[in-house]
A and B are shown apart, each in its own frame.
Chain A
Amino acid sequence: DTGVSQNPRHKITKRGQNVTFRCDPISEHNRLYWYRQTLGQGPEFLTYFQNEAQLEKSRLLSDRFSAERPKGSFSTLEIQRTEQGDSAMYLCASTATGVDYEQYFGPGTRLTVT
C-alpha cells in the first residue's frame, strides 16, 4: 500500500489556461474525495465518487470545474479557464466504506494562477 498519490505536486499556470490534476487512491478504496484548501483555511469539500459514480458536488464546484473517475480507480480534476481565485491546494482523499471511516489524504497539488 503506497498511499494516496497526486500529480503534479505543483502547477503554475496563466489565467485563462486549463489545468488537470490526477489522484491515485489507495487500491481497493471505493470512495474518492476532492477538497480545496486556501491559505490559512481548512479544506473545503468539492466532490466525491463512490466507484465511478459522482455522488455529490459542492456549490463551490463551478461549471469550470469537472471531475471524473472513469474506471473507479484514479480520478482527474480539470479546471477550465483558470482564474486567480482558483489558486489553492487541491487535496485528494480516499476511503473504503464499511471498513474504515478514516479518509486518507494525498500530499496535494498546489495551483498558482498568475
Chain B
Amino acid sequence: SAVISQKPSRDICQRGTSLTIQCQVDSQVTMMFWYRQQPGQSLTLIATANQGSEATYESGFVIDKFPISRPNLTFSTLTVSNMSPEDSSIYLCSARGGAGIYNEQFFGPGTRLTVL
C-alpha cells in the first residue's frame, strides 16, 4: 500500500493570489493524479501528473490555471493560480502503482481551500 500526505491541510487565501499544494507518497508510484471536490459535490479529475513532462489535463482544466509539477516518482505539486471564490474546494492527490485494474488507487487526506 501507499501512504499519501499533503501540505497544507487547509488554507484561506485572498482572491487573485496563488497557492501551491504538495503531495508526497511514501513509495514510488507509477501514476499520480489531482482531483477537485467542490462543496457538496463529487470528485472531478483535474489532471494526470506525468513524471518529467507536462501534465495531462482533463476537459475544463488548463495549465495556466492549475500548473502541476512532478519531478520524481514520489512527489507532485498542484498550484491554483489567480484564485477566485469558485476555486474553494478540497484538492486531493491520488496515486497508484500502475494502470492495470489490479493496482489499487490511494488518496491523500486532501487540502481544504477557501478563497475569500
Whether chains A and B associate is: no
Chain B positions within 8 Å of A, measured between CB atoms, are none
* A residues apposed to B, CB below 8 Å: none
